[in-house]
Amino acid sequence: MAGKRKLAPRVCNLLAVIKGKVAHKGATSEEIIAALRREHSEIIKAETDDILHVGLIQLANQVCRLRSGGATSVQLEMFAEYAVPKMITLRTEDDKGQVRNVHKAVGALTIAEARQHVSAHMKPRPRASEEIKELARLVDDVQQFGTERSTIEQCWAKKRAS
């Protein structure tokens, strides 16, 4: 993403601050957004174009992930027997070497593009991300220093004190 500016940087920073403040008691995304809107409406107004762009990109991605089938009026008859999405997202490089995600209709894929997409999604993947594995390791290491209702922070403090 070299050369691209970060969209809605002040709103993103404020979201991170609000999320950090409520992290100990927990909050839903809706609650975090409500706090942002309540406390920083002027910054939201200043970055509305960026926020709208990000939201529209997410909606475009969501629409591209929809599956074809009986409920989809745009389903091509030739693919009716396959439970394939109407579109897939290909990772391609542009002339400057930047990787871009390009949405392409299944019928417009070349065989090579389809095989590349299938291959990329069939590679064995670990069941959990490294972050999840590390969280599991942390819990394993501190659980003996508390109960099921203890926080990791409380258990960590007891572990360090022992």
pLDDT in 10s for each residue of the chain, 162 residues: 445 789 999 999 999 999 988 877 888 899 999 999 999 999 999 999 999 999 998 888 787 666 544 444 444 455 666 777 777 888 888 888 888 888 788 778 888 888 888 888 777 766 767 777 888 889 899 999 999 888 888 999 998 898
Give the separation between CA 38 and CA 43, rounded to whole angstroms: 11
Q: What is this structure's pTM?
A: 0.56
Name the domain count of the chain: 3
Cβ-based neighbours of 52, under 8 Å, separated by 6 or more: none
Q: What is the dihedral of CA 63, 67, 70, 74, to 10 degrees?
A: 50
User: Are residues 51 and 8 in contact, defined by beta-carbon separation less than 8 angstroms?
Assistant: yes
Tokens 């417009």 sit on residue:
108
Cβ-based neighbours of 142, under 8 Å, separated by 6 or more: 152, 155, 156, 159
116, 132: one domain: no
Question: Among candidates 57, 115, 60, 67, which has minimal Cα distance to 90?
Answer: 115
76, 50: one domain: no
90, 48: one domain: no
Q: How is residue 51 written in tokens?
A: 């926020």
Domain housing 160? 127-162
Cross-strand pairs, 87: 105
Query: Can you give the pLDDT at residue 74?
Result: 46
54, 69: one domain: no
80, 101: one domain: yes
User: With b meaning 16 or more CB within 10 Å and e meaning fewer, what string describes 119-133?
Assistant: eeeeeeeeeeeeeee
104, 119: one domain: yes
- Output phi, psi for 84, to 5 deg: -105, 155
Give the separation between CA 41 and CA 36, rounded to whole angstroms: 7
Give the separation between CA 41 and CA 52, rounded to whole angstroms: 15
76, 116: one domain: yes
132, 121: one domain: no
